[in-house]
């Protein structure tokens, strides 16, 4: 029995290749959705769109303080793991679901597999960095997406025999789900957009949207991009970001603010954009795989491979640097190599888990 824990939409996306591989192999597994950011009902569309089975368990923990949310997740996860007794528990990424799920499993003496292990921003001000480090150090199987991630783990004293470099499931997810998207969505037509003649934006990180000065600079920078290039700037607004914009009384001039899209619609928008501006780690990876330039509105990144291959540039939360970065990145040739593997990470991870179950 394999337990698959997830709690946010990026985790659903990146776990989708693992779930599909378990299905194809006919393995005994279950899915536990913690509902960290949204209720399962709000995420149901993601499972339906991606043609994934419904979760077996839904905790619906909702938002809260880091300590409160982590405690709720651990309590709920512990009860279900004790009932199901999986041989291995899989978590993916760097959320509170990941750390809480890994802790609960480890304390029940169950083996933990961390997908996307070894990523480091080296910035402990980010709660995600703390979640990554803690999870890596209590995991039994560390599925590192790249050699540099493996080197990070070795530098922290983690046993090399626990580490397996698999590539990143984001590659599998982009390839598999882009095929589904082509059949189910036509968002460019719906929004009257032309390929490579619009910018796409995402912004949701606490250090950006909860900081008045940074959020103001980001919005100013986005407005500057729209004015200089005279192209639509499509900004699907995360609920947290929308709330902060209203609370802080910011006007938004010239930006196409929309509701959040389903993943298939977003993937289509991402794949055809002139450039994507984001503070999301997953979007940095997806644009790299899709061959679309990315400007990251942060001062550091746990995805240094995107900087190394030339698909991404850090522009921080400064209006002037955002505009300068976009000017630079829109001139790039889209010829970088994909550093995240060849789309078989899900297969490799499940192979290791299947072998582990027999031990």
C-beta separation of 88 from 114 below 8 A: no
β partners of residue 295: 277, 313
User: Beta strand pairing status for 275-278 and 57-58?
Assistant: unpaired
Question: In angstroms, how far apart are the furthest CA atoms of the chain?
Answer: 61
Structure tokens at 162: 């626990």
Taking residue 85's Cβ as centre, other Cβ atoms within 10 Å add up to: 10
Q: Can 33 be counted among the known catalytic residues?
A: no
Q: Rounded to whole angstroms, how far apart are CA atoms 255 and 90? A: 39
Q: What are phi and psi of 166, to 5 degrees?
A: -110, -10
Active-site residue among 37, 109, 204, 238? 204
Q: Rounded to whole angstroms, how far apart are CA atoms 298 and 280? A: 9
β partners of residue 29: 2
Measured N-to-C along each axis, helices 9-25 and 281-290 cross at an angle, to the nearest 10 degrees, of 60
Taking residue 51's Cβ as centre, other Cβ atoms within 10 Å add up to: 12
Structure tokens at 173: 């997810």
Round the CA-based radius of gyration of the chain to a whole number and report it.
Answer: 20
Q: Rounded to whole angstroms, how far apart are CA atoms 9 and 241? A: 16
The catalytic residue positions are 204
């Amino acid at each position: 029995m394999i337990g698959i824990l997830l709690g946010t939409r990026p985790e659903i996306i990146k776990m989708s290749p693992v779930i599909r591989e378990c299905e194809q192999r006919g393995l005994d597994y279950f899915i536990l959705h913690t509902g960290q950011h949204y209720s399962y009902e709000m995420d149901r569309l993601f499972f339906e769109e991606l043609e994934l089975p419904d979760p077996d368990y839904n905790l619906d923990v909702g938002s809260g303080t880091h300590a409160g949310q982590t405690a709720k997740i651990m309590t709920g996860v512990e009860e279900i793991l004790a009932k199901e007794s999986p041989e291995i528990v899989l978590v993916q990424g760097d959320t509170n679901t990941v750390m809480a799920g890994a802790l609960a499993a480890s304390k029940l003496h169950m083996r933990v597999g961390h997908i996307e292990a070894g990523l480091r921003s080296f910035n402990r001000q980010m709660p995600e960095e703390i979640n990554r480090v803690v999870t890596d150090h209590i995991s039994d199987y560390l599925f590192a997406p790249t050699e540099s991630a493996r080197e990070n783990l070795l530098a922290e004293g983690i046993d090399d025999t626990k580490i397996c470099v698999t590539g990143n499931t984001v590659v599998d997810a982009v390839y598999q789900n882009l095929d589904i998207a082509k059949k189910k969505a036509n968002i460019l037509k719906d929004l009257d957009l032309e390929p490579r003649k619009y910018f796409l934006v995402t912004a949701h990180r606490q250090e950006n949207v909860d900081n008045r000065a940074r959020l103001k600079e980001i919005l100013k920078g986005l407005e500057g991009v729209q004015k200089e290039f005279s192209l639509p700037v499509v900004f699907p607004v995360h609920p947290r970001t929308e709330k902060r914009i209203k609370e802080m009384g910011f006007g938004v001039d010239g930006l196409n603010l929309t509701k959040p899209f389903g993943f298939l619609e977003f993937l289509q928008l991402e794949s055809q954009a002139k450039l994507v501006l984001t503070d999301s780690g997953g979007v940095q990876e997806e644009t790299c795989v899709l061959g679309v330039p990315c400007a990251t509105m942060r001062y550091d990144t746990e995805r240094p491979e995107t900087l190394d291959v030339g698909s991404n540039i850090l522009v921080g939360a400064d209006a002037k640097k955002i505009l300068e970065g976009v000017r630079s990145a829109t001139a790039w040739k889209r010829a970088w190599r994909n550093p995240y593997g060849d789309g078989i990470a899900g297969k490799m991870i499940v192979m290791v888990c299947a072998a582990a179950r027999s031990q």
